[in-house]
Amino acid sequence: MTSQRVESEPLERALVEFISQARWFGGKGRPFQVTDFRVIPLRDGEPRVSIGLVTVTFEDGEDVYQVPVASYAEPQDRLSHALIAIVEGRYVYDAMHDRDATHVWLEHFQLAVPPDGGPGTHVTDSGLTFHRTGEHELDLGTHSTLFSGEQSNSSVAFGEDSLMKLFRRITPGVNPDIEIHEALSRTGTRSIAELFGWVELGSSDPEEPPIQLAMLQQFLRTASDGWELALTSARNLFAEADLHADEVGGDFAGEAHRLGIAVSEVHDLLRQEFGTQPYDAAATAAAMGERLAAAEDVVPALADHRSTLEAVFARVSNATDDAQRVHGDLHLGQTLRTSLGWKLVDFEGEPAKPLAERRLPDSAWRDVAGMLRSFDYAAQSVVKDLHAAEAPGSQISYRAKEWLERNRAAFLEGYVERRIEGGGEPLSPAEEAMIDAYEADKAVYEVIYEARNRPSWVDIPLQAIDRIGAHP
């Protein structure tokens, strides 16, 4: 790794304190030690911009966190909320809050475009490589805006032109978010945000993989969040006492159908770009069973559902399918509705999983099941919001079920639409069994999450398990 060892102990201590309190730090409540601390200069002058890489070690492993910083000789009132420390007379700030600092990334990305246009690279003196994928002309005259509320990464929008996602917890190797966006961008699909480039840190050892630090992509400024659209639709239905789901103005079924088409297209393109391999049905069923056993240790109430779940998981043990690259963490919050249709975002996979595991092929039905679970949560979360202190009553429960079933059906119809138009068959019983198994597996995970974070919501995944188990 090309880098410069930091000599200032106070800066190291300050960054450790900053990391431990950040929302994207995954080790809260766990003891750790800092075992490595490095800095990669990005620009000298004022402000002085650099990237800190902090390795924290726990009893069961280690994580590396990325902390971009900007330092000034004088205090910056506009950045007082982002002050990390005063080190050797200089004021050190979180660079993601500093428009002057983030512009440095944009300038390096623009330098990666060769004079004749097209893909290119730019290597900095400190060993950072900025990659560009095409001829898109970046708007260097714009300013940046940091998105708030993100849990695992930090995103900065440059005007209305582009969006930079900076990965906070990093791992050597190819990041699937970059890898998949790069492959799909080459196809010209409109079902994703186009990738403009990425930045990585190489190593002096050719056997070591690079560390990918950030990606630059198309900014969909006017897009609407799929989760919020679904919540609005459910609220509209619950507000109408005498209308059914297909009669209210906010009916979501048409959008759910179009979303199914977009997911199907992306899956087809992933098969074309990355190929397929045989699907290990027995190993998949066994892994689902192992996750259930581990979940019972956390939520003993799951033991009452063990026989139901084991029967559902057994349905996939002899399934025939292809394994392929998938989204890996697909739900309504990973979708955006634009004037040109639905777009899928965030192909990083489940952040808690190791990088190598997130890049493994799987059944496309895992993504489908994740989206179906998201429809259930959209309806039930509105119910919880409206009836936080009381039972919802039969009318609201019926409306929630009606909304869910209508949008599930519309999404699945959209997903298989092109197959049927080509002379293929609708969903087969074997495919429906696979969807059930992946939904149940997801619901087991949700039971653990709700038990730890929102105990009053644990009935949502438990009811889903009962519903799935009732299927023939």
Q: Are 40 and 1 in contact (CB under 8 A)?
A: no
Q: What are the residue boundaries of the structural domains of the chain, listed by start?
A: 4-95, 100-218, 224-469
- Residue 150 has a pLDDT of 65
Going edge to edge, which strands form the sheet with 128-132? Answer: 120-123, 128-132, 195-201, 211-218, 162-167, 153-158, 144-146
Q: Count Cβ atoms below 10 Å from residue 34 Cβ, excluding itself.
A: 14
Pick the CATH number of 224-469 from 3.40.50.2000, 3.90.1200.10, 2.40.50.140, 3.90.1150.10: 3.90.1200.10
What's the token pair of residue 222? 């006017």
The secondary structure of the chain in percent helix, strand, coil, rounded to multiples of 5, reads 45, 20, 30
The 10s digit of each residue's pLDDT in 91-113 is 999 999 999 999 999 999 999 98
What is the structure's pLDDT at 4? 45
Residue 11, pLDDT score:
79
For the segment 321-355, what is each residue's pLDDT rounded down to a tens digit? 899 999 999 999 999 999 999 999 999 998 778 88
* Spacing of C-alpha 289 from chain mean position: 25
Contact 361, 276 (CB under 8 A): yes
Q: What local confidence, expressed as pLDDT, does residue 244 receive?
A: 65
What is the rounded CA–CA span in Å between residue 181 and residue 230? 25
Q: What local confidence, expressed as pLDDT, does residue 419 receive?
A: 87
Question: What token pair was written down for 35?
Answer: 């075992």
Of 410, 217, 255, nearest to 337 by C-alpha is 255
- Global pTM reads 0.91
CB 172 within 8 A of CB 138: no
* Ranges of H-type helices in 119-199: 176-187
Task: Measure CA 37 to chain center.
Answer: 27
10-residue averages of pLDDT along the chain (472 residues): 46 85 85 88 94 91 93 95 91 95 95 84 94 89 85 90 94 94 95 96 84 96 94 85 65 95 97 96 95 94 94 91 96 95 94 87 97 97 77 75 94 94 89 96 96 92 91 68
Q: In whole angstroms, give the CA distance from residue 219 to residue 382.
A: 29
Phi, psi of 63 (to 5 degrees): -130, 150
